Structures are given as C-alpha cells and as structure tokens.
Amino acid sequence: MNKILEILKDIKPECDFENSKDYISDGFLDSFDIVTLVSEIEERFDVLIDALDILPENFMTAQTIADVVAKNGGKIE
Amino acid sequence: MKTVFRNKKISGILSVLPETKISFEEEISNYNFPEKQTLRLKKVMGYKQHRIVKDETSTSDLALAGLRHILSKGWLQKEDIGAIVVARSYPDYFIPPVSSILQGELGLPDDTFVIDISQGCAGFVMALIEGFMLLEHLKDKKVIAISSDVLSKMVSKKDRNSWPLAGDAAGIAILENCNNDNIIYTTINNDGAMRNALMVPAGGSRIPSSVDTAKLFDENNDGNLRCLNNLTMRGSDVFTFMQTKVPPMINELLEYAGVTKDDIKYFLFHQPNKFMLKKLAEKLGVSYDKLPMNVVEEFGNSSGACIPVCATYNISDLLKKEVHTYCLAAFGSGLTYAGMVLDLGSLDFCETYISQY
C-alpha cells in the first residue's frame, strides 16, 4: 500500500492522498493521471493491468488501486 | 452491419502531411500543468512531435495536394476517376462539400460522383466501404477514397489532454474493380448513445458559433482550457468504449473472414495514442510489433487519416512488393467503430508525401 501512495505522491505531489476518501471526486486524478498511474504501477509492480479494469471507480482510493493491482497478479506488501 | 465485397482492390495509398513539425517540449509552457507532470505523459501517451498545418490551410488543401501529386506521378489518369468519396469531420465550409471542391479544382467531368461523409476517426474505413459499394456501378472507373482533416483547428492549444496529440493529414486510396478472388470483409457499427463522449459542442445549428462560444473556460476544473468551438472528449468513456467494443468486433470480424490472428500480417488501426493501442493489443492477444503504434509520436493523431499514415510510414515497401492479409480497425466520433479484413499489396504506389502546407 505504501508503494502505491508513493507513486501517487510522485505523480501529484500537491494532493493529500492520505486524507482523501475519493481521489476522483476530490479532483486529484483525472483520466490522464489514471493513465500515468497505470503505467507507473505496471512498471514498478511488473504487472499488466487489464484494460477493462481502468475505470475511475477503481482508482478512488489506495485500497481500490491495490485491489486492482492484486486482481491483475501484482504483489501488494 | 457486416458485409463482403468481391473482385475489388486498393491499388495505391498516399498519405499527405503538413511540413510544419512541432515538438512536445516546444509547447509545454502553453499548458496549465507542472512541467514534470506533463513530461510523464510524453512516454505513456507517445507525445513527441506533431505535424500541424499553416493557419490558412483547410481540409481540401491537403487532399488536393495529394491528388495533384498522384496525377503528376502518372499513378492515376483523370479520365479514370469515376467517384470521389471524402470522409472528414472539419470541412472547409458547411457548403460546398470538400468533394465538390476537389472535383472543381481538378476539372473533372460533371458525371463524376462526389460525396462527403461526415466522419472522424473511422473516416478512412468508412470511405473505403462507400468506395467499394460505388465500384459496383462504375465498371472500369476508379474511386478515390479520401480521409482528410485539419484536427488542429478544432482543438484548443491550451488543452494539454488533446492538443499534443492532434495532427493534420490526408490519406488517399485508389480503389478499383479487379478479376482476382479477393474477398474483402467489413463490419460497421455505431453506439449513438455514447455520441457526446467526443464532440464539438458549438458551430452547428444546435449552438451556432458566436462571441460567447469562442471564450475559453475550464469546464472540468482540471486546468485544460477549451471553448465550445473546440473538440471535447470524455477520456474515460472513450477509453472504456474502445476497450469494450473493439476487441469483440475484431474477433468476430476475423471469424467472419475465416482467418486467425496469425494469418494477419499487420493490424493497421486508428492511432488515438500509444497507451490505448498497447492496451488494445494486450486485450486482443496480439504482439505489439504486429500492431504499429508510432503515428501519434511521429505525426500526431490525424483522425481518419491515421490508418493510411500508419501504412505508408511503417510498411510502404512491403505493401508495394508483397500481398498479405491485413486487419484495419477504426473507432471514434459517433461513436463509430468499423473494421476490415482484406488482402493488400503489390500496390502501384504507397508513399508519404510532405506537402507545402
């Protein structure tokens, strides 16, 4: 989970991801941020995220992102 | 709709590009985003450079430059032209059609069949389908199928999500009847319920252009500035549409054509951006090297012209020498999605032409 938060902060350092309950409605992540995030996750977790999992609702919190990574075979520590 | 065409072929392909090339870095200060954040997209989306027309250039100019080049090379004779089909989303004028401009400028006879199709990214495939249908009635005459657009004129330069990938180009294919056993398999589909995911809100009869529609604003509070005359895109919806609709369409089309993915030499797809194409290749189970995805980084996304640009840039020598089976697919405004499986090769010409525009 920490690794995901690290990536998020790296992409958008100005956003308070720890205290947000919904990155999408809080305006922290738009579709282009999600694309950047997926690309970083694939590189750092050595996974391929299924295209049909790239939906805004799967990127609302670090937990939902972790769930997507795990679903696609990534190891969440 | 699925259908087949018999005894027809593409005998030449030309893509026409503007001479002006702008790098991603040159424009990075135009956007309301931190530079570091924007630079990340360079790698992911394939933002490297794009080709943009000059201010005074319109959609017909690119197509006309290409047609004059083809005629000057002797690859086509004027008297052989039976019809001109132009797919475009941003015509020179509402009236007259681009196809009429081309016919007039080339001095073609009055009985030349000319028609515009209002289509965006699926334009080239739609023009091919329309052209093959017309060939049924043209005997020895040829059809010129064109997809031409100056997308850069529809996109806000302050829109970081769209401007870096916008490109201008025309693609021209010569279609003719032939005596071989070649069967061309096609599929055309449309999801009109999703039409607003990709649109230019103003300029038509619903919201005519005015001083107000030209005012830039931040519609989504995301830092991208657009006006109502600009192209707007719901990125997530378009992405989901593409990943949901296109792979099943391709699989059904291949089955319809009685071929497997291994039988396909190359998948020549519309080029929205590198990320979308990589995900599409993964979903289809096709290796990245069989689905070229370098058009956006080299030239920009030129809407319907992407497929001919992809073909002439990546595999022109192969297309001139050998015949192989190819799968074309295009998807975009409408939201239209269409595909074609055909044997293609031994072309009379297959070239990328850099115009004065």
Q: Which residues of B touch A30 (CB under 8 A)?
A: 161, 220, 222, 235
Q: Which residues of A touch B40 (CB under 8 A)?
A: 11, 36
pLDDT of residue B66: 98
Phi, psi for B356 (deg, rounded to 5): -75, -10
Q: Do residues B162 and B155 make contact, with C-beta atoms less than 8 angstroms apart? A: yes
Of residues A47 and A77, more confidently modeled: A47
Q: What is the mean pLDDT of residues B230-234?
A: 93
Structure tokens at B199: 């649109």
Q: What is the mean pLDDT of residues B320-342?
A: 97
With 80 as the cut, is the pLDDT of residue B287 above it?
yes
Nearest Cα of chain A lies from the Cα of B301 at a distance, in angstroms, of: 17
Q: What is the mean pLDDT of residues B199-221?
A: 94
pLDDT of residue B42: 84
Gap between the Cα atoms of B241 and B334, Å rounded: 11
pLDDT of residue B219: 86
- Per DSSP, the three-state class of B9 is strand
Q: Model confidence at A1, in pLDDT bands (50, 70, 90)?
A: confident
With 80 as the cut, is the pLDDT of residue B347 above it?
yes
Closest Cα to residue B178, out of B27, B53, B10, B322?
Answer: B10
Q: What is the mean pLDDT of residues A45-54?
A: 92
Can you give the length of chain A in residues? Answer: 77
Question: Among A66-70, A72-76, B99-103, B180-184, where is mean pLDDT lowest?
Answer: A72-76
Q: How far lies A73's CA from each of A40, A47, B280, B284, in Å?
A: 15, 7, 19, 19
Structure tokens at B299: 């030239």
Q: Model confidence at A47, in pLDDT bands (50, 70, 90)?
A: very high
Q: Do residues A11 and A17 make contact, with C-beta atoms less than 8 angstroms apart? A: no
Structure tokens at B268: 């020549």
Q: What's the gap between Cα B256 and its chain centre? A: 24
Gap between the Cα atoms of B169 and B164, Å rounded: 15
End-to-end CA distance of chain B: 37
Listing DSSP states for B109-159 in one string gives -TT-EEEEEE-STTHHHHHHHHHHHHHTTTTT-EEEEEEEEEGGGTS-TT-
Q: Which residues of A touch B244 (CB under 8 A)?
A: 52
Alpha helix (H) ranges present in chain A?
2-11, 31-45, 62-71
Element (H, E) at B345: none
Beta partners for residue B170, in sequence order: B16, B148
pLDDT of residue B44: 86
- Name the residue among A34, A36, A52 with its Cβ closest to that of B40: A36
Gap between the Cα atoms of B295 and B314, Å rounded: 9
- Name the residue among B43, B220, B244 with its Cβ closest to that of A52: B244
Determine whether the interchain pair B37/A11 forms a contact, defined as Cβ–Cβ distance below 8 Å. Answer: yes
As a whole-number percent, the residues of chain B with pLDDT over 90 amount to 87
Q: What is the mean pLDDT of residues B70-77?
A: 98
Determine whether the interchain pair B283/A12 forms a contact, defined as Cβ–Cβ distance below 8 Å. Answer: no
As a whole-number percent, the residues of chain A with pLDDT over 70 amount to 100
Q: What is the mean pLDDT of residues B320-335?
A: 97
Determine whether the interchain pair B41/A36 forms a contact, defined as Cβ–Cβ distance below 8 Å. Answer: yes
Determine whether the interchain pair A55/B236 forms a contact, defined as Cβ–Cβ distance below 8 Å. Answer: yes
Q: Model confidence at B183, in pLDDT bands (50, 70, 90)?
A: very high
Gap between the Cα atoms of B281 and B64, Å rounded: 34
- Mutation site, A34, A35, A59, interface B, largest B CB count within 10 A: A35
- Name the residue among B44, B161, B282 with its Cβ closest to that of A51: B282
pLDDT of residue B223: 83
Q: Do residues B314 and B269 make contact, with C-beta atoms less than 8 angstroms apart? A: no
pLDDT of residue A75: 82
Query: What's the number of CA atoms in the CB half-sphere (13 Å) around residue B88?
Result: 31
Q: Which residues of A touch B35 (CB under 8 A)?
A: none
- Name the residue among B235, B240, B280 with its Cβ closest to that of A32: B235
Max mean pLDDT range (A12-26, A47-61, B65-79, B157-171): B65-79
Task: Establish if A27 touches chain B: CB-CB under 8 angstroms.
Answer: yes
Residue pointed to by tokens 């330069």: B157
